[in-house]
Amino acid sequence: MANVVVVGAQWGDEGKGKIVDWLSERADIVVRFQGGHNAGHTLVIDGVTYKLSLMPSGVVRPGKLGVIGNGVVVDPWALIDEIGKLKAQGIDVTRDRLRIAENATLILPLHRELDQLREAAAGSGKIGTTGRGIGPAYEDKVGRRAIRLQDLKNLGTLEQKVDRILVHHNALRRGLGQPEIAKDDVIRQLVEIAPKVLPFMDVTWDLLDRERRAGKRILFEGAQGALLDVDHGTYPFVTSSNTVAAQAATGSGMGPGQVGYILGIAKAYTTRVGSGPFPTELNDDIGELIGQKGHEFGVVTGRKRRCGWFDAVLVRQVCKVSGIDGIALTKLDVLDGFDEVKVCVAYMLDGERIDRLPAGHNAQARVEPIYETFKGWKQSTRGARKWADLPAEAVKYVRHVEELIERPVTLLSTSPERNDTILMRDPFED
């Protein structure tokens, strides 16, 4: 029986939360391996809606262990706030439900401030960050000046570490015309939050290795989407971490050969939040209708998502870069009722037909989609749980998507409800 990695195959917001929750019933452990609380997952369970940002999706299910891996940047204040919200909904998050890697980097208030100051100063050149300090925290991690969770248990050495991080941040703040941050304020904040988060700390790479050897099923949950990967995405309009499947190994401490089946999640159309290239974007009534039917607003930010037709070029490219074995296609029901449905099968760039997204930002902005048009379907697919429930045109659409992306559709989601899912292949049994 395989472990399973779930990654977004577009720009995020593909419906990973529902799919991870659906799979978590078969898993014993759910691991977050990158990103931070800029990621949003909406789960609908027995009519109750849970909105998670930092927590692994499995944390709302009894008997499942959620692990926040070393590849995640953790805002301890946001974590405690999310734990409190879940408790208000009847979910008591204890150490039995949640562990956090001791070597996870912390997001501090100074990271949030810097993120927002930079975006405000960028003007029209904004990247479109959520302003939650994710990027600055990753910068400090790579710059070897970060405060990590394990540092909170050694308060005697904290002063030296805070000195090191403030040398960098206060120089930046002076350049932005902002007052410097006092060391005592940072230390006070960390001392206050330490006893609230340290009970969840663990040597998670060792924990995962023991559980794997004991035969436990592990589900690795990615945040954002592969097109926001800092190396392989639409740079510079990307997040600050690696979001491709290989990060499941690095961001959890488990070897690459042990992570198992790789399941990509893709919507039956395409959306994007924030700035950056989007070849199939529809700035018309159809794009507006897709957004309305799909309730396309960010879970974390509330920002309206840009909408467009399915881009098979991008998803095929992601499948190759991430080593995706199969796709979970979500929100098929949003396409119900259209007279015709389109899929991007290639691009034109400066008069040449190409079958990939170029790496250069300027070239990405110039590509023009080449579409194939399919007959739409008037019957509802919402709530379908077997192939026989789908109209013939919808089946043709899904089968042609498989051909274009060169991967099988192993799961098909037809509503936000977790059980409205058609399973062609169980990833855990692959």
Give the catalytic positions in this structure: 13, 41
Alpha helices in 221-267 (DSSP H): 247-250
Query: CA 411 to CA 430: how far, in whole Å?
Result: 13
Strands (E), 191-339: 201-202, 218-221, 261-267, 270-272, 306-308, 310-311, 326-330
Coil, helix or strand at residue 261: strand
Q: Do 68 and 38 contact (CB within 8 A), yes or no?
A: no
Query: What is the C-alpha separation between 70 and 212, in angstroms, rounded?
Result: 18
Tokens read off for 195: 């006893």
Query: Residue 58 and residue 120: Cα distance in Å, rounded?
Result: 36
Decide: residue 393, CB within 10 A, 0-12 exposed, 13-18 middle, 19+ buried: middle
Nearest in space to 150 (alpha carbons), one of 83, 229, 205:
205
CA dihedral 182, 186, 191, 192 (to 10 degrees): 100
Listed in sequence order, the residues at least 6 apart from 53 whose beta carbon sits closer than 8 Å to its beta carbon are: 37, 38, 39, 40, 41, 78, 82, 299, 300
Q: Which of 284, 328, 274, 275 is nearest to 309 (CA)?
A: 284
